[in-house]
A and B are shown apart, each in its own frame.
Chain A
């Protein structure tokens, strides 16, 4: 558990260092996810070290978004000023994206498109 959490934080730290020193638009945690995947694929990291910590964090992922959402209260006035375009665009566009990505991916996944295997 502690070993897993330490590894995750170290990979995040490596990600932060790379992303900041190269001034990349990718945040450190996303970079850390890529680095960890690389580490796992090359067998530098054993997935067993991480399974417990990853399971604990990912099964409670939703909880960590609550404070981020509460932060919205500070910007209530900003949203209220142009609520109509903001709300309509946000809601409709979310459904558009799900429809486009879901339909397209499912179509490409089907056997008749499976030319690459």
Chain B
């Protein structure tokens, strides 16, 4: 019976929801950013699957149903953007320049650091689009010759780092404006960072959502140009 049940979508959906709810309770109880619900849920689900020797494919039957909702959620980011359009339009210059600089900084610092530390060509290339939202990052990396699954993993890792420490790090370095904070976390940590920004402030969340799309666009066009210059 158990073997059959594990193979149904019910298993993946129920497991994810239960773990996520518990992780949220823990987050509220502990009150520390280090127990970020997304990060904690991911780690617990992986550990549970490993411990009970359940294949990822069995989990994904249900997991993919939840993942599907990410699609309409990204479309829904247009709603807060529209609601705050006046505030955002007024700051179009800092927003565009900030995202452009972040996109450039992301490619150069991620690939540069990996190259200095002796990473292989595959790893250096796979790291380049790591701040971009998963579907765009995958299409970029396939074009430039990196390893798509590795990029997918690094994108999630980057998102978790940004979601866990983003708002706190911004405050630490003196970035206090809601627009600048949303831009910083959205540009660096795409959707996972944006999810955290929506908890902190609606305007920050709206701007972070804008940064997901614009950073994806800019990286798509910047990366091939940079590769010509660096002979990679």
Residues of A within 8 A of B (CB): 5, 8-9, 11-12, 15, 25-30, 32-34, 36-37, 40-41, 47, 50-51, 53-54, 57-59, 61-75, 78-79, 82, 84-86, 88-109, 113, 116-117
Contact = CB atoms under 8 A, between A and B. Distances in A.
Contacts, number: 324
B55 to A, nearest CB: 10
Contact of A90 (B76, B77, B154, B217): B154
B10 interface: no
A99 B63 CA distance: 34
A29 B46 contact: no
A54 to B, nearest CB: 4
B108 to A, nearest CB: 9
Contact of A102 (B19, B117, B135, B173): B173
B188 interface: yes
Nearest to B147: A78
A86 B102 contact: no
The main secondary structure of chain A at its interface with chain B is helix
A88 to B, nearest CB: 6
B29 interface: no
A94 B131 contact: yes
Contacts of B85: 41
Given A37-B82, A64-B66, A101-B98, A27 B139 contact: yes
Nearest to A34: B213
B33 interface: no
Nearest to B186: A101
Interface string B110-126: 11111101111001000
Contacts of B192: 62, 65
Contacts of B130: 90, 93
14 contacts: A8-B75, A25-B143, A26-B217, A33-B75, A40-B78, A67-B63, A70-B16, A72-B153, A75-B153, A89-B109, A94-B158, A98-B170, A103-B173, A109-B94
B8 interface: no
Nearest to B73: A57
Interface string B40-54: 011001100110000
Contact of A73 (B50, B67, B78, B198): B50
Nearest to A57: B73
A79 B150 contact: yes
Contact of B135 (A30, A50, A94): A30
